[in-house]
């Protein structure tokens, strides 16, 4: 038999103890109710964060360096699946430096910490869209801030900045994503002064990829010697000198006669752009609207160019005349007009100079891009190839909305645009104040800006590939806008910059103006002379010579505005 355990009689709780237990139970239920009520919101936040529908990345890029400072940018990109409504970028600048100017954002400062917020025009970023914030830094204390310093502690909308495949100063790809540190090299390249962001979706896979075989390699910026150069930028022993190709414009329809053959013999330049083919009525291509394609004089000039080993590109459009894209009724008719010119002169390069109403009309833009697809396809089927350049008006802050829309449409349709040539001229006083002595700087500002815009439009481009895709064309001498004079010093500055960055080419308007005017002191643009004191071919020689002499240092851009640019 087992033993029975004795139990004490159960005591009844007192009234005071019952009250205490009741209160404790109510408190526990109240806390539980609060937690349960908050759970749906917590779950939403967690799910939204896991799915990252509006994930923003911020990529830091060094765009230029000089003795007392540098310029840089952050590319804020929506890598998620939903539109991001607003963004805030924060970072700390290392001791010894301060931001002296900033554009495309609203900035505030707390010591060395900077907060950059969106503007009205770049606040909403759809999936794949990006906004570029550019700024200049002055090294107040060079001993404290090294020449390779860069922002740290970067966050975008409160999360650590994610740098997608950034390229270091040596051209090597970053080993891991994450916010930049002071020990990490920064890639030279893209640009201050961005315009409205691009709507082009990012290419599949990483945003920055290793360039294909034969493509330009990263590291072509100011702080990194280019291919074939020694540590100081001088040509390396036994290495070829890297130069930017020069390709002047010749106006075949202009009054008078430019001796193209004599220019080739005198200067040795064999690459030329012959302008402008426009509509002669009923979608009929002509030179300047009145010279037939089979004109004997034009045929003779092409024959001389070919006999001297020269190459020609043909430019369509321009500021005067009627663009074929505006007069031809369909993409098929426009493609046939283009093909007629290509076959007539047996050329493989065309330049589309788009200005005025031809730039701002979406129907004309779409028709032209559709025609380019048809043209390239037809030439390819016949065993040929076609190089396409878009020449577009620009401001020192970059391409305007209409030009970006044109390129965005081309990218969306798959038009292969080999070169984007910016027409660095006719800015106007509101966009280029006090232009005397600054036209070269304004041209390099525009180039930096467009470089970044090209990387937005074609995200798979490396830094170097975007520079290779870019060309700059100033108007030499006295410009159309009073006060704007592009001097020989401006030409040398632009040429050195172009060679330093390895631009695809340099052009200028126009070859016939590369000589002094009969009467000095011109105040208006003359189609037959520059209006400045010079020898014949002086601009051509300045561009060629400057393109072989990389600048030792890169001066800071002249931009001070924070507002978005517009069309001129």
Let me know the angle formed at the C-alpha of 276 by 275 and 277, rounded to the nearest 5 degrees: 130
Bridge partners (DSSP) of residue 389 are: 351, 419
Which tokens in the block code for residue 147?
């020449």
Residue 380: which region, alpha, beta or left (left: phi > 0; alpha: psi -120 to 50)?
Answer: alpha
355 is catalytic: yes
Residue with tokens 């910026």, as numbered in its chain = 221
362-381 vs 331-345: helix axis angle to the nearest 10?
50
Burial of 478 (0-12, 13-18, 19+ CB in 10 A): buried
How far is Cα 413 from Cα 563, in angstroms, rounded to an integer?
A: 30
Residues in the chain: 568
Q: Mapping DSSP to helix (H, G, I), strand (E, B) and coil, where does residue 454 land?
A: helix
Q: Mapping DSSP to helix (H, G, I), strand (E, B) and coil, where does residue 486 land?
A: strand
Residue 282: which region, alpha, beta or left (left: phi > 0; alpha: psi -120 to 50)?
Answer: left
How far is Cα 464 from Cα 221, in angstroms, rounded to an integer?
A: 8
- Cβ-count burial 48-81 (b if 16+ within 10 Å, e if not): eeeeeebbbbbbbbbbbbbeebbbbbbbbbbbbe
Sequence-distant (≥ 6) Cβ neighbours of residue 343 within 8 angstroms: none
How far is Cα 399 from Cα 431, in angstroms, rounded to an integer?
A: 12
Which tokens in the block code for residue 536?
């014949």
Give me the catalytic one of 59, 129, 355, 463.
355
How far is Cα 135 from Cα 443, in angstroms, rounded to an integer?
A: 18
Nearest to 146 by CA among 184, 191, 90: 184
Nearest to 69 by CA among 106, 98, 38: 98
Instruction: Please tell me the chain's helix, strand, coil percentages from 3-state DSSP, rounded to the nearest 5.
Output: 30, 20, 50
Give the residue numbers marked as catalytic: 355
């Amino acid at each position: 038999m087992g033993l029975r355990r004795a139990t004490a009689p159960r005591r009844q709780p007192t009234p005071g103890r019952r009250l205490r237990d009741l209160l404790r139970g109510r408190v526990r239920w109240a806390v539980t109710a609060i937690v349960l009520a908050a759970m749906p919101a917590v779950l939403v936040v967690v799910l939204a964060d896991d799915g990252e529908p509006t994930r923003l990345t911020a990529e830091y890029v060094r765009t230029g360096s000089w003795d007392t400072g540098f310029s840089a940018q952050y590319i804020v990109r929506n890598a998620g699946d939903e539109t991001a409504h607003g963004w805030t970028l924060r970072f700390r600048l290392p001791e010894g430096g301060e931001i002296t100017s900033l554009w495309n954002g609203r900035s505030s400062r707390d010591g060395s910490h900077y907060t950059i917020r969106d503007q009205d025009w770049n606040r909403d970023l759809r999936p794949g869209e990006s906004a570029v914030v550019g700024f200049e830094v002055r090294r107040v204390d060079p001993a404290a801030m090294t020449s390779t310093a860069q922002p740290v502690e970067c966050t975008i909308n409160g999360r650590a900045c994610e740098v997608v495949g950034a390229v270091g100063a040596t051209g090597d790809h970053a080993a891991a994503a994450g916010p930049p540190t002071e020990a990490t090299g920064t890639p030279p390249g893209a640009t201050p002064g961005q315009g409205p962001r691009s709507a082009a979706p990012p290419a599949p896979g990483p945003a920055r990829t290793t360039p294909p075989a034969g493509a330009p390699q990263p590291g072509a910026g100011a702080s990194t010697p280019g291919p074939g150069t020694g540590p100081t930028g001088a040509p390396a022993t036994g290495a070829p000198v890297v130069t930017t190709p020069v390709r002047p414009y010749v106006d075949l329809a202009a009054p008078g006669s430019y001796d193209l053959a004599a220019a080739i013999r005198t200067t040795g330049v064999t690459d030329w752009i012959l302008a402008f083919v426009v509509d002669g009525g009923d979608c009929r291509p002509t030179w300047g609207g009145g010279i037939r394609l089979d004109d004997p004089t034009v045929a003779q000039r092409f024959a001389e160019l070919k006999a001297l080993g020269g190459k020609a590109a043909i430019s369509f459009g321009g500021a005067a005349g009627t663009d074929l894209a505006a007069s031809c009724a369909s993409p098929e008719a426009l493609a046939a007009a283009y093909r007629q010119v290509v076959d007539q002169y047996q050329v493989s390069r065309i330049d589309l100079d788009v200005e005025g109403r031809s730039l701002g009309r979406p129907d004309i833009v779409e028709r032209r891009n559709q025609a380019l697809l048809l043209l390239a396809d037809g030439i390819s089927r016949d065993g040929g190839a076609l190089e396409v350049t878009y020449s577009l008006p620009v401001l020192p802050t970059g391409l305007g909305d209409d030009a970006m829309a044109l390129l965005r449409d081309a990218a969306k349709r798959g038009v292969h645009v080999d070169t984007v040539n910016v027409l660095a001229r006719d800015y106007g006083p509101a966009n280029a104040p006090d232009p005397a002595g600054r036209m070269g700087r304004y041209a390099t500002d525009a180039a930096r800006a467009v470089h970044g815009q090209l990387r937005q439009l074609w995200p798979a481009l490396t830094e170097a590939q975007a520079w290779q895709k870019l060309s700059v064309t100033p108007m030499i001498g006295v410009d159309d806008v009073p006060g704007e004079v592009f001097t020989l010093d401006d030409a040398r500055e632009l040429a050195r910059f172009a060679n330093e960055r390895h631009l695809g080419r340099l052009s200028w308007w126009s070859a016939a103006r590369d000589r002094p005017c009969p009467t000095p002191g011109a105040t208006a643009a003359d189609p037959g002379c520059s209006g400045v004191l010079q020898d014949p071919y002086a601009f051509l020689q300045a561009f060629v010579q400057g393109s072989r002499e990389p600048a030792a240092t890169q001066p800071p851009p002249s931009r001070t505005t924070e507002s978005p640019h517009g069309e001129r």
